Amino acid sequence: MHWLIFNPKNEILLTSNGDVPCGDNAPVDAAQNHIFDLANNCKAFYYNNPAPQDYTFEWLRKAYHKLPNDLRETAFKASELVYFDSYLNFCPKCGGKMEYSSPISKKCVSCGNEIWPRINPAIIVLIYRGKDEILLSHALNFHGTFYGLTAGFLETGESLEQCVVREVMEETSLKIKNIRYFASQPWPYPSQEMFGFFAEYESGEIHIQEEELSDCRWYNRNALPEIPPHPSMARKLIDYWLDHRDEF
């Protein structure tokens, strides 16, 4: 049995060797927690205490490469379910207590309001100029020195494509064209669904949104800065652009 245990910071519990805890019993007391049964012989739950001796909590994105291949997607799903379990204890409609009504939903014992885990749709876009340049930026909230792509959350009444245009304009003041969808990816930080796009530069000069970015500039494919690590959608978009030059 693999134990996928997360704290309030959405960090995963690992052994001192960087492994997911295994065994018939959890390495910490799970008696007061809702335990999720997941694929790949995994159980998951929320733990609101410090890591015990010989264990450590680590940010899931940083720990991704330490997880066995068959546990990575399961850990992503576990993270989102555990986050849902940790914050939804009382009904937002009437204040009543929420209890599980299915493996992934809670229902209010007072008014019957049923809620499933919230998923926040977001876009991320690789903007290219000619065959050899892409736009890369460093956001203020990045955990590291790498440069990534323009991204943002979908707003009410907005299509994904409209969101791409708006976010690019807001963050960089640039106009884009030829928007095309690439792929989607669950991104549990804490509960996003990322939709990846490519777009071609049309016009404008870079003027960054200083509340969001510290830097933004064009980079040549042969002189890229540090870029996001796997398994992020940003890295997938960049790798695809690097490997498929003739498509752009």
Q: Residue 54: its pLDDT value, please?
A: 93
Length of the chain: 248
- Cα(188)–Cα(122) distance, integer angstroms: 12
pLDDT at 190: 84
Using CB atoms within 10 A of its CB, is residue 15 exposed (0-12), middle (13-18) or buried (19+)? middle
What is the C-alpha separation between 123 and 171, in angstroms, rounded?
13
pLDDT of residue 69: 81
The pLDDT score that the predictor gives to residue 62 is: 81
| 83 burial via Cβ count (<10 Å: 0-12, 13-18, 19+) | buried
Distance (Å, rounded) from C-alpha 71 to C-alpha 73? Answer: 6
- Beta strand pairing call for 150-153 and 120-129: antiparallel
Question: Where do the domains of the chain lie?
Answer: 2-87, 91-117, 120-247
The pLDDT value recorded for residue 115 is 97
16, 17, 13, 18: which is closest to 28 by C-alpha? Answer: 13
CB 60 within 8 A of CB 82: no
Angle 28-31-33 from CA coordinates, rounded to 5°: 90
Residue 12, both tokens: 């995963």
Where b means 16+ CB within 10 Å and e means fewer, 202-234 reads eeeeeebbeebbeebeeeeeeeeeebbeeebbb
Per-residue pLDDT in tens (0 to 9) along the chain, 248 residues: 999 999 988 899 999 999 999 999 999 988 778 999 999 999 999 999 999 999 999 988 888 888 888 898 899 999 999 999 999 999 999 999 999 999 999 999 999 999 999 999 999 999 999 999 999 999 998 878 999 999 999 999 999 999 999 999 999 999 999 999 999 999 888 889 999 999 999 999 999 999 999 999 999 999 999 999 888 899 999 999 999 999 99
Beta-sheet strand order (sheet of 114-115): 98-102, 105-108, 114-115
d(CA 202, CA 197) in angstroms, rounded, equals 16
Check whether domain 120-247 has CATH 3.90.79.10, yes or no: yes
178: three-class secondary structure by DSSP: strand
- Residues 125 and 6: their CA atoms lie apart, in Å, by 30
pTM for the complete prediction?
Answer: 0.88
Residue whose pair of structure tokens reads 């990816």 in the numeric block: 185
